[in-house]
Structure 1
Amino acid sequence: MIFDSSEKRIAVVGDIHGFWTWVDTEYFSKSNYDSVIFTGDLGNVRPGSANKIAQLISKVRKPKYIILGNHDTTSIPQLLMEITNASPNIGYLSHIFHLLRYKKLLKDLGDTHICQYNLSEAGQGISILGSRPLSMGGRFNFQLFIKSLFGISSYEESEKKLHELIQGIDFQKQDLIILAHNGPSGLGDKAYDIWGCDFKKEEGDFGDKDLGNFIRTISKQGKKPKVVIAGHMHHSSRKLRVKTRIWKRKEEGILYLNPARVPRIFSDKEGNIWHHHVELTRKNGVWDAEAKYLKNGVEEIFSLPEFIEREKNRVELKD
């Protein structure tokens, strides 16, 4: 079998947090993208906001892939318990309602592929590995939920599961895309780094250890993923008001993407409305990505405002 080196064009949408309209639904439906990938965090703190966004996403007339974020299906008390490192057993009753919210969100997402500890085909020659859902960094998040659905309760078990999922992949014939909500560890400990911490004075690496260790191990085995996509750590770092977070990094043949430009819908001084996403492409077997901005619902060739041009070019290429 000859490896499929045909061109691919995939839209990647970062953490939405309520910033999605019918403009997006129609744009992606009518676009020439092969598929659309979402990094999760659909809603905001308002109850039911994620479900409304999910219903709009379900109407996108393209193959769709999503990993759920820490704001998807969770409650404010649950999030507070994670932030304060409370014992997971405290929230058992909350966990029961969590499962109900989870089932409702999956229903509202319709035919969207839910990527979580599974492997999905995304066209000939491409596989998407869904990693641990609901991750918010810092520790192994939402233990009751993850254990009840997947039987996994530690970083070690999570990493082992990821290894099991890729056993059947022929890396000579398949390009592997890893989809996570929070990114892998090992890619920098500064606030401006792709998954660096921007809310602590000491900054630090806020990537997930299970995902980082998994990627490093399989890379040494000659099983490198082509692309790793994750959000959670938003662009426009609080510590760098002039510079924005690095959103694209290429290192040792792996393309890392953080498309979480929040808010992804925003206005400029002239009152123009901009919608952000990332265009992921494969040409002649090489993967690359470019930040895209719709201006008043239209993608065209136009000069970008200085602050958008600056964030668009905030990348780090090491090979």
Structure 2
Amino acid sequence: MIFDSFDKRIAVVGDIHGFWTWVDTEYFSKSNYDSVIFTGDLGNNLPGNTNKVAQLISKVRKPKYIILGNHDTTSIPQLLMEITNATPNMGYLSHTFHLLRYKKLLKDLGDTNVCQYNLFDMSKGLSLLGARPLSMGARFNFQIFLKSVFGISSYDESERKLLELIQDIDFQKQDLIVLAHNGPAGLGVRAHDIWGCDFKSEEGDFGDKDLGNFIRKIVDQNKRPKVVIAGHMHHSSRKLRVKTRIWKKKEEGILYLNPARVPRIFSDKEGNIWHHHVELTRKNGTWDAEAKYLKNGVEESFPLPEFLEREKNRIEG
């Protein structure tokens, strides 16, 4: 590398789904992390929950980056239309309300950097690319919204936009992190794969085609990202006896992370309360990640319970 070596320590928080408290806000604010990255899906199905979580995140006293998930700003009818592959024209009925929810969420997120078809300079030598927001896999989701807000209406247009955003990066001087809500296609076909389908008997690859094609094209040009982060497919897999999927994978020099441990706040048999996140580090030019757990508000103690040790070591490559 031409640029000087720099060390980084970044917190990565997977799909929240309502599991965020003041304990998290204060912990990350007082931590020695350089920044905090979120994969989206902030709320659960309770009214206003997404916005309450967003307001708590806005109070984290660190640089913050988030991509919106398929549960952020959308409604239950919209999600059902996506799941059933309903005609996009039906979505026009709720589009106005979707835009209002979107604007309200951006306001509640305060100074949080919202990653959505944009490129951020996180620090000297480090860029963060925001991929397609609101993805839920299987098809090009929320077409009307993406066309209205970003001018993107297909996988091909999405892929071209991502390629356009990184064309001026000097990969000899700049490390690139890609942040998406759902992961890229091409990383396996088993239920326990990092973005494998765990809700169909035939299993399969549930990654996004546009993101997968984008990564393959820049790798062919020797412009590979250092890290790709996405959630959406939760660690707890419905088809596994050991209820966790692979959450970290290294392939062709790229570190892939899925931090979506849901619920990320949970209790053990002794009544201890645990909070999960992933620590992403760059040391001496090498990127790596480790699952981290707070126990009753304090950073992990050793030894971890056996079930957490299994989770922590569910990695590949």
Q: Which of the five TM-score ranges fits, normalised by the shorter chain?
A: over 0.9
Is the counterpart of residue 110 in structure 1 residue 113 in structure 2? no
SS of the aligned residue for 1:65 comes to strand
- Aligned-residue sequence identity (percent) comes to 85
Aligned counterpart, 1:41: 41
SS of the aligned residue for 1:194 comes to coil
Displacement after TM superposition at 1:48 (Å)? 1.1
Distance in structure 1 (CA, Å) of the matches to 2:186 and 2:25: 35
Report the residue type matching 2:124 in the other structure.
Answer: Q
Displacement after TM superposition at 1:144 (Å)? 0.2
Displacement after TM superposition at 1:14 (Å)? 0.1
Query: Do the aligned partners of 2:235 and 2:243 also contact (CA within 8 Å) in 1?
Result: no
Matches within 5 A, 1:146-295: 146-295=146-295
Aligned counterpart, 2:306: 306
Displacement after TM superposition at 1:79 (Å)? 0.2
Distance in structure 1 (CA, Å) of the matches to 2:36 and 2:123: 12
Distance in structure 2 (CA, Å) of the matches to 1:218 and 1:75: 35
Distance in structure 2 (CA, Å) of the matches to 1:187 and 1:71: 24
Distance 1:4 1:89, change over 3 A: farther
Structure 2 unaligned runs (5+)? none
Off by >6 Å, runs of 4+ in structure 1: none
Structure 1 unaligned runs (5+)? none
Distance in structure 1 (CA, Å) of the matches to 2:145 and 2:306: 43
Q: Deviations over 1:219-263 (max 9, x none)?
A: 010000000000000002110131510000001100000000000
Query: Do the aligned partners of 1:4 and 1:124 also contact (CA within 8 Å) in 2?
Result: no
Query: Do the aligned partners of 1:146 and 1:153 also contact (CA within 8 Å) in 2?
Result: yes
Distance in structure 2 (CA, Å) of the matches to 1:93 and 1:300: 48
Aligned counterpart, 2:5: 5
Distance in structure 1 (CA, Å) of the matches to 2:50 and 2:40: 10
Distance in structure 1 (CA, Å) of the matches to 2:256 and 2:37: 14
Q: CA RMSD in A?
A: 0.9
SS of the aligned residue for 1:270 comes to coil
Distance in structure 2 (CA, Å) of the matches to 1:68 and 1:59: 18
SS of the aligned residue for 1:129 comes to strand
Distance in structure 2 (CA, Å) of the matches to 1:272 and 1:241: 24
Displacement after TM superposition at 1:45 (Å)? 1.1
Aligned counterpart, 2:80: 80
Distance in structure 1 (CA, Å) of the matches to 2:87 and 2:243: 37
SS of the aligned residue for 2:299 comes to coil
Report the residue type matching 2:271 in the other structure.
Answer: G
Report the residue type matching 1:101 in the other structure.
Answer: R
Distance in structure 2 (CA, Å) of the matches to 1:244 and 1:260: 10
Q: Please report the TM-score for the alignment, with normalisation by the length of structure 2.
A: 0.99
SS of the aligned residue for 2:181 comes to strand
Distance in structure 2 (CA, Å) of the matches to 1:244 and 1:232: 14
SS of the aligned residue for 1:122 comes to strand
Query: Do the aligned partners of 1:72 and 1:134 also contact (CA within 8 Å) in 2?
Result: yes
Query: Do the aligned partners of 2:292 and 2:300 also contact (CA within 8 Å) in 1?
Result: no
Q: Please report the TM-score for the alignment, with normalisation by the length of structure 1.
A: 0.98
Report the residue type matching 2:62 in the other structure.
Answer: K
